[in-house]
Amino acid sequence: MKKFAVFASGNGSNLQAIIEAVKAGDIKAELALVFSDNYKAYALKRAEEIGIPTLSLRPKDYTNKQSFERDLVIYLKERDIDFVVLAGYMRLLTPYFIKQYPQKILNIHPSLLPSFKGRNGIKDAFTYGCKVAGVTVHFVNEKMDNGPIIMQDSLKIYEKDTLESLTEKIHQLEHKVYPKAIALYVEDRLNVRGRKVKIK
């Protein structure tokens, strides 16, 4: 059985959806570690409460980003982590880290990429006046929100929607889509050719 780690920086609501999918047998892999760059992240508490090992390293305790990530990679390799899932991890990974896990890092972004990259995807779509918003699950490469797209789903933005109501709806959509995409990856059903990801 494959082992994976979830990286989170905050509340961990996507982590919770992933935990529930693993418990239900929808994701046939072992969630072996939850990592955070924020030792106060509620995601760590979610994991600890059900006995999932956790790790927190703070970048400010290191002289540079690569030394921080080198320690992290050593920890992951020691625990035989096969792939990494980013779930609200608010730090860009370096090329060094990505080379350790080529096509083995998944991320979810709260917009229909390639539109509205960056940390304010929901707000940017809302203020732009979009009629449709959505989420994208993609592989991570060396550019921000740029890797091959695994799965997307969308929803309508209504005139009565506020930024808060849209944010809530986007999060609910993430919780449905992300476990499905992770399950496809675990089952080796993703065939990557350049930018195209074919589901087998």
Q: Cα angle at 117 between 21 and 22, to 5 degrees?
A: 5
Which residues have CB under 8 Å from 180's CB, separation 6+? Answer: 26, 151
Distance in angstroms (rounded) separating the CA atoms of residues 149 and 162: 28
Q: What pLDDT, in 10s, does the model give residues 23-80?
A: 999 999 999 999 999 999 999 999 999 999 999 999 999 999 999 999 999 999 999 9
Which residues have CB under 8 Å from 97's CB, separation 6+? Answer: 69, 72, 73
Question: Quick one: pLDDT band at residue 124, thresholds 50, 70, 90?
Answer: very high
Say yes or no: do domains 1-101 and 107-200 share a fold: yes
**Confidence (pTM):** 0.95
Place of tokens 């890092």: 105
CB–CB of 86/181 below 8 Å? Answer: no
Q: Domain ranges in the chain?
A: 1-101, 107-200
Q: What is the CB neighbour count within 10 angstroms for residue 158?
A: 10
Distance in angstroms (rounded) separating the CA atoms of residues 129 and 98: 35
Out of 109, 138, 171, 175, pick the active-site residue: 109
Distance in angstroms (rounded) separating the CA atoms of residues 105 and 85: 6
Q: What pLDDT, in 10s, does the model give residues 71-121?
A: 999 999 999 999 999 999 999 999 999 999 999 999 999 999 999 999 999
Angle between helices 13-23 and 42-49 (to 10 degrees): 20
109 among known catalytic residues: yes
What residues pair up with 109 in beta bridges, in sequence order? 136
CATH H-level, domain 1-101: superfamily: Formyl transferase, N-terminal domain (3.40.50.170)
| Structure tokens that stand for 64 in this block | 């540079």
DSSP code of residue 106 = E
CATH number listed for the domain at residues 107-200: 3.40.50.170
